[in-house]
């Protein structure tokens, strides 16, 4: 694959070195992490580095147990790295909480709050103007096809509707960087496909800086500008892959020979890693 890069030399979709002087929206620099259980030490992250440029959609893909969720906990300030640092927009924010919008694997909606109230929650916690916030939330709820369910409670919604609500809640966060932890893993194949294309359309409109964990190669390539392929534990970056397909992307990209070739190459890379 000609799109594989050295992480220290980012290349844009035209194969040229990026000239922007703006610092990354999010950067993990040489993160190390070892967990100690009784007398045993388990190294999870081994000098892992990655970056999300402003307005970029980046995915992490790797074997189960390779430390992807641990990296998210470190980015979110919930876990301290043994070494290394987290930077946002040129500032060291290592260990600081409340700097990202986060969407977990499960929707984790509050059951006593309606769709609208769940979506509004991040702005409420930030103490932002309620009237303006409600108007914005209702616009996004309409865009998500949930207007008829604005006053519905989570238990009355389908899995896909719950995930849409959870994504809108993350998007309403005042924080620029969104971290999505396998957001569609619990959905059936058809609903997952629908959600991928819905997310793609929504993201194309607002271009937030996104870092997503996924085990789904096709999903990573469909949604992302850049894909980081991780090794088995302790995790390092095996390859940083610049996804060359232009935006906006549509479903027919999934049958493009170049797309299938890239998908196959990543799959082979991960199979070889699992054999080690």
Domain count, the chain: 2
220 and 258 part of one domain: yes
Give 55's DSSP letter. Answer: T
146 and 270 part of one domain: no
Q: Where are the beta strands (DSSP E) in the chain?
A: 4-5, 26-37, 40-52, 57-61, 83-88, 91-92, 101-103, 177-181, 209-213, 226-230, 237-242
The two tokens of residue 159 are 């899995």
Q: pLDDT, tens digit, for every residue of 74-128?
A: 999 999 999 999 999 999 999 999 899 988 888 889 999 999 999 999 888 888 8
The two tokens of residue 204 are 């194309």
Cα angle for residues 259, 29, 241 (degrees, 5° grid) = 10
Question: How big, in percent rounded to 5, are the helix, strand and coil portions of the chain?
Answer: 35, 25, 40
Q: pLDDT, tens digit, for every residue of 232-243?
A: 889 999 999 999
**Order of strands, edge to edge, in the sheet holding 26-37?**
40-52, 26-37, 83-88, 91-92
The residue range of the domain holding 126 is 101-172
Collapsing DSSP to helix, strand or coil, 237 comes out as: strand
Q: Which of 3-12, 59-68, 122-131, 252-261 is predicted least confidently? A: 3-12
Q: Is 113 a domain residue?
A: yes
152 and 260 part of one domain: no
CATH code for position 3: 3.40.50.300
29 and 68 part of one domain: yes
Q: Is 200 a domain residue?
A: no
226 and 108 part of one domain: no
Residue 15 has pLDDT above 70, yes or no: no
46 and 122 part of one domain: no
262 and 232 part of one domain: yes
Residue with token string 């990202």? 100
Mean pLDDT of the chain: 86
67 and 139 part of one domain: no
Strands 91-92 and 83-88: antiparallel
């Amino acid at each position: 694959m000609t799109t594989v890069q050295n992480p220290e030399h980012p290349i844009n979709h035209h194969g040229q070195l990026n000239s922007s002087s703006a610092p990354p929206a999010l950067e993990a620099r040489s993160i190390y992490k070892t967990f100690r259980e009784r007398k045993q030490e388990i190294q999870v992250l081994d000098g892992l580095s990655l970056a999300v440029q402003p307005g970029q959609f980046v995915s992490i893909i790797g074997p189960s147990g390779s430390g992807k969720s641990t990296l998210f906990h470190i980015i979110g300030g919930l876990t301290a790295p043994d070494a290394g640092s987290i930077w946002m927009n040129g500032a060291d924010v290592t260990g600081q909480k409340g700097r990202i919008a986060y969407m977990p694997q499960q929707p984790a909606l509050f059951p006593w709050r309606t769709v609208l109230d769940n979506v509004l929650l991040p702005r409420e916690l930030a103490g932002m103007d309620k009237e303006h916030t409600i108007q914005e939330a209702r616009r996004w709820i309409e865009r998500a096809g949930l207007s008829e369910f604005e006053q519905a409670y989570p238990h009355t919604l389908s899995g896909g509707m719950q995930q849409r609500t959870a994504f809108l809640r993350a998007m309403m966060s005042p924080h620029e960087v969104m971290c999505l932890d396998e957001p569609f893993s619990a959905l059936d194949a058809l609903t997952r496909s629908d959600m991928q294309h819905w997310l793609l359309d929504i993201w194309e409109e607002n271009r937030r800086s996104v870092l997503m964990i996924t085990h789904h190669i096709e999903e990573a390539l469909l949604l992302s500008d850049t894909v980081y392929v991780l090794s088995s534990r302790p995790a390092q970056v095996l390859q940083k892959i610049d996804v060359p397909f232009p935006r906006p992307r549509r479903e027919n990209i999934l049958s493009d020979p170049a797309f299938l070739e890239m998908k196959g190459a990543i799959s082979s890379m991960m199979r070889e890693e699992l054999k080690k």
